[in-house]
Structure 1
Amino acid sequence: MSKMTDKLDVMAYLERINYKGPCEPNIDCLRQLHVAHLTSVPFENLSIHCGEGIVLDLLLVYDKVVRRHRGGFCYELNRLFAWLLEQLGFHVILISASVFHLYTRRYGPPEDHMLLLVTLSSGLHVLADVGFGSGFRLPLFLEDGRRDAQVNGTFRLRLDSAMWLMEQLNFTGMEPNTPGCVPKNGDVWVPRFKFNLTEKCWGDFSAMSIYQQVSPASLCCCKSLCSKHLPNGAITYMGWRVISTIYEDGKARKTTRQILEEEIPAFLKDTFGFTLPNKLIPRDEPIQENCSNQHPLQH
């Protein structure tokens, strides 16, 4: 173990995600860890909106998530989760995805999102993702067309030429004529992101990490948000809104209420369990579309 990683504690991480199950590198353990992580660690970008820079450094991410009980975005959470899985004996590689953005109805640039491809001892490949916010709750087997009904929706992976598409059935707010959607017999499969299986290193995401923090075409830059899965729903803070979601009978029922700026720090503490180091500047602005599909190095 390196001098860097010997400062990271597996047991403290497991305690942070309230995981008390077995730690064997198999699919049952992976599924339990995945759910534990999503229901304990929020997807959040509040560092961007409180003057706290995001640096892709494993010690810093560990300190933020495990010791300070914060969350993070995909480049932070999935990389840290990959480290945990590796320590428990799983074979994991990082891969990149382009997200189908619900606001712009277009795919984002390469390295827009970071995913984990886990190979089990049986040789089966499984997609894991604890850094997408509203994505699948349980890992998905890398199998073309396989439907996976979960608490928060039905998902599938579909192979299209050299690209894999992660799609969600009848996702809220999307119509059959939305570009990229696949309507069939009354159902609408909505694209969430697309990816290939090329292995990436963490440094490959550095430019996109900066882009997400500063670009007016980035959701993370335009909207201050924090979201966490609940056993039968989700709770999301965005700008000056709190969105509560309950999953019932395969449908999502959402309610929204306004929150005053002075109420936000207490809400974050009570709901997500953390206090920000600096004053939060709430933000909920439209996302610019004209550069959403360009790579940040082209700007």
Structure 2
Amino acid sequence: MNAHDTSIDLTAYFERIGFGGPARPEPTLDTLRALHLLHPQAIPFENLDVLLGRPVRLDLESIQHKLVASRRGGYCYEHNLLFRSVLTTLGFRVRGFAGRVLWGRDAPDMPARTHMLLLVDVDEGTFLADVGFGGMTLSAPLALQTGLEQITPHGAFRLDDAGGEPTAFILKALVNGAWTNVYRFDLDPQYDADYDMANHFVSTYPQSIFLHNLLAARLAPGKRFGLLNRRFSVHDEHEGSTHRELGDVPALRRVLETELGIRLPDNADLDAALARLP
């Protein structure tokens, strides 16, 4: 399986994310920032296919059909493979890497590499780009520099030196006044076969969080929307955070379609899967 099998439809992608610039913008830092801000506000994070027992396909044709034409969302491999194809087509130098998720994790052992991220080289240097980390998705690229607080449209982030060999970094987010680990990554190159393997693992492994839980998220100006099973959260930079429990399937469908912006799949099993959520 190869994410380069099909060419990217830039016109359709730009329409999907609401990009109003030139048809083929220059591969500059300003372009990268503009696309990185729009993408996670238009294309949500979601794992409905895994919840429904459907395969998650990583060929570019399938990703474009799902995330662009069908106005669905996806998880990290789908988002960042789509974004990689867009950037590469525009002339950016893009490399794919893998992260070990630390967010929400207390266990001391090292988790597997189950997250995809990108590094993009521009005239100003190398930047971390990642449009597919759910509720803590970046809305701007980050300079690959350690110890520097970097302000994005959706909060402050920092890259720390993780120590050891090879060179590794820990992405941290400033949450409620404390620096919180998001994920760890090093500069070991990843190939499409690596993402195929990791995608198969997270979508089929019995203990995978994606298999029995609903996860969905989207950014909006000044806001983060997040859904974990029936718990819907809104993090507003001015009004703080609110949480509410969605008591029934119609309420879940409304939030998925409206706040999260997902065109729900036409599947008879969807309501049953939503009803089973803890």
Give the TM-score normalised by structure 1.
Answer: 0.81
Q: Counterpart amino acid of 1:130?
A: V
Q: Measure how far apart 1:201 and its partner are.
A: 1.0
Match of 2:139 in 1: 137
Are 2:219 and 1:229 aligned? Answer: yes
Are 2:189 and 1:189 aligned? Answer: no
Match of 1:65 in 2: 67
Tell me if structure 2 keeps the 8 A contact 1:243–1:254.
yes
Counterpart secondary structure, 1:143: coil
Find 1:253's aligned residue among 225, 233, 241. Answer: 241
Match of 2:20 in 1: 20
Match of 1:5 in 2: 6
Tell me if structure 1 keeps the 8 A contact 2:27–2:122.
yes
Flag the 1:146–1:226 CA change in 2: closer, same or farther, 3 A: same
Are 2:247 and 1:269 aligned? Answer: no
Tell me if structure 2 keeps the 8 A contact 1:100–1:106.
no
Counterpart secondary structure, 1:39: helix
Match of 1:101 in 2: 103
Q: Measure how far apart 1:51 and its partner are.
A: 3.1
Q: Measure how far apart 1:115 and its partner are.
A: 0.2
> In angstroms, what is the RMSD of aligned CA positions?
2.3
- Structure 2 distance, partners of 1:110, 1:27, is 31
Gaps in structure 1 of 5+ consecutive residues: 173-186, 286-299
Tell me if structure 2 keeps the 8 A contact 1:98–1:107.
no
Gaps in structure 2 of 5+ consecutive residues: none
Q: Measure how far apart 1:101 and its partner are.
A: 3.4
Identical columns (%): 30
Tell me if structure 2 keeps the 8 A contact 1:13–1:66.
yes
- Structure 2 distance, partners of 1:136, 1:107, is 26
Over 3 Å off, 4+ runs? 103-110
Match of 2:192 in 1: 202
Find 1:165's aligned residue among 162, 166, 170. Answer: 170
Are 2:233 and 1:243 aligned? Answer: yes
Counterpart secondary structure, 1:164: strand
- Structure 2 distance, partners of 1:3, 1:216, is 30
Match of 1:30 in 2: 32
Counterpart secondary structure, 1:19: coil
Say which is worse superposed, 26-35 or 203-212, in terms of deviation. 203-212
Flag the 1:266–1:188 CA change in 2: closer, same or farther, 3 A: closer
Q: Measure how far apart 1:120 and its partner are.
A: 0.7
Give the TM-score normalised by structure 2.
Answer: 0.87
